[in-house]
């Protein structure tokens, strides 16, 4: 083949590649960036009820969270949020509300009031035969005494509760979850399961230090709890958004890079102070795109800042996005 023909073929190939890539990008921009004010693509919202914690877990960004002032999410903001998502039909793709961030939600003094408020909105939605998102909570279970467990079950706002029981043995648990006593957490979780009687779905999340495989890594108590709950998941530690100085010397969570990120497209993270970020791994607030104290959710969703972030990721310019620059997912 002559050199000219080769160059012509290459040019045609490149043209086709760039043409289709740009067509795909335009489709994505129209579908996800909502330039015509259509429905939001948000499926998942994290609400950080507290960015304060009573533990100092080995790999958690909470332990190094000096960039954010410690505070609790206010019930007035929860009301505004619930009004936003129930009155504004553009949010009807929302499927899950996760009541945690980087901190311990049960420390929030308004925790039970917040649950009661959510339950009232849920009841109203069901009366109108409207969908209401699933409500989930993840907790370290250190404060989950008998009385609190009874109230949580009685209020009935939660669809799922997740207990973070890392390590797999008492010794490893206490080494990872610095400040927690296994005997107390184990008792709290067992009591909750008894009081709950299957009403709220229960999950155990277990972050492991060593790779599970050949050996039996879980003590009898873990095995027993796994049988008592609805399901459990085993993961390995990760470095949050890649910007935290978390040293993981053991096995790390593996992740596949994608050309676009689910969090960026489909989720929002409302921080304890009311700032709204695009990602639940945003421990430092680098990805804040709006302030829910002063703006409504849809305005934040369609904000220029959020659109610019998505644009840059789609156009493979993640170095321009401080939050995503070191992320393992894009
Ligand atoms: C940040 S905590 C917040 C909720 C609550 N304080 C708790 O511990 O369940 C949410 C989950 O993240 C997990 N986690 C913390 N640091 C992690 C890391 N570096 N890699 C993977 N998971 C982590 C915890 O074990 C917990 O299950
Ligand atoms: S993992 Fe949960 S309990 Fe542990 S330090 Fe982080 S926020 Fe606190």
Residues 6+ apart with CB under 8 A from 287: 241, 269, 277, 278, 279, 309, 321, 322, 323, 324
Instruction: Please report where in the chains the tokens 């129209």 appear, as a residue.
Output: 30
167 Cα–ligand 1 center, Å = 12
- pLDDT tens, position by position, 14-70: 777 777 777 777 666 666 555 555 789 999 999 999 999 999 999 998 877 666 789
Mean pLDDT: which of 20-34, 257-271, 290-304 is highest?
290-304
Instruction: Please report where in the chains the tokens 């010397």 appear, as a residue.
Output: 249
- CA–CA separation, 284 vs 102, rounded Å? 10
- pLDDT tens, position by position, 151-168: 999 999 999 999 999 999
- Any idea which of 120-134, 173-187, 198-212, 245-259 has the lowest mean pLDDT? 245-259
Ligand 2 pocket, residues with Cβ under 6 angstroms: 53, 55-57, 60, 62-63, 102-104, 140, 177
**Exposure string over 33-43, b if 16+ CB within 10 A, otherwise e:** bbeeeeebbbb
| pTM metric for this prediction | 0.89
24 Cα–ligand 1 center, Å = 36
- pLDDT tens, position by position, 166-205: 999 999 999 999 999 999 999 999 999 999 999 999 999 9
Reading the block at residue 189, the tokens are 């979780």
Mean pLDDT: which of 109-113, 213-217, 244-248 is highest?
109-113
**pLDDT for the residue numbered 213:** 66
**pLDDT averaged over every residue in the chain:** 90
CA-closest residue to ligand 1 atom 14: 60
Tell me: pLDDT of 139 over 60: yes
Which ligand 2 atom lies nearest to the CA of residue 142?
3
Contact 99, 136 (CB under 8 A): yes
Q: Which of 56, 63, 142, 164 to mutate to test the pocket of ligand 1 (most atoms within 8 A of CB)?
A: 164
Among residues 238, 237, 240, 235, the alpha carbon closest in space to that of 286 is found at 240
Q: Which of 60, 66, 101, 238 to mutate to test the pocket of ligand 2 (most atoms within 8 A of CB)?
A: 60
183 Cα–ligand 2 center, Å = 18
- Ligand index nearest the alpha carbon of residue 62: 2
**pLDDT for the residue numbered 124:** 97
Contact 45, 277 (CB under 8 A): no
List strands edge to edge, sheet with 96-98.
231-235, 201-207, 160-164, 134-139, 96-98, 44-47, 267-270, 275-277, 288-291
């Amino acid at each position: 083949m002559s050199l000219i023909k080769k160059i012509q073929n290459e040019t045609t190939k490149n043209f086709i590649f760039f043409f289709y890539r740009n067509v795909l990008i335009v489709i994505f921009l129209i579908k996800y960036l909502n330039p015509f004010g259509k429905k939001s693509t948000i499926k998942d919202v994290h609400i950080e009820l507290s960015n304060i914690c009573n533990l100092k877990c080995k790999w958690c960004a909470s332990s190094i969270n000096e960039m954010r002032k410690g505070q609790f999410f206010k019930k007035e903001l929860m009301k505004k949020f619930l009004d936003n998502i129930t009155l504004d039909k553009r949010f009807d793709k929302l499927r899950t509300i996760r009541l945690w961030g980087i901190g311990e939600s049960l420390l929030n003094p308004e925790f039970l009031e917040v649950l009661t408020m959510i339950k009232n909105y849920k009841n109203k939605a069901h009366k109108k035969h409207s969908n209401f998102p699933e409500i989930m909570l993840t907790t370290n279970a250190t404060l989950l005494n008998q009385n609190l467990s009874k109230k949580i079950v009685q209020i009935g706002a939660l669809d799922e509760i997740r207990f973070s029981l890392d390590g797999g043995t008492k010794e490893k648990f206490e080494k990872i979850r610095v400040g927690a006593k296994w005997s107390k957490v184990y008792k709290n979780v067992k009591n909750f399961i008894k009081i709950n009687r299957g009403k709220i779905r229960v999950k155990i999340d277990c972050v492991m230090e060593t790779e599970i495989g050949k050996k039996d890594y879980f003590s009898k108590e873990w095995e027993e709890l796994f049988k008592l709950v609805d399901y459990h998941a085993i993961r390995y530690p990760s470095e949050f958004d890649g910007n935290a100085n978390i040293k993981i010397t053991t096995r790390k969570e593996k992740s596949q890079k994608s050309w676009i990120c689910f969090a960026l497209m489909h989720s929002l993270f409302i921080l304890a102070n009311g700032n709204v970020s695009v990602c639940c791994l945003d421990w430092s607030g680098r990805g804040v795109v709006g302030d829910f104290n002063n703006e409504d959710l849809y305005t934040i969703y369609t904000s220029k800042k959020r659109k610019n972030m998505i644009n840059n990721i789609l156009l493979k310019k993640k170095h321009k996005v401080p939050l995503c620059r070191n992320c393992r997912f894009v």
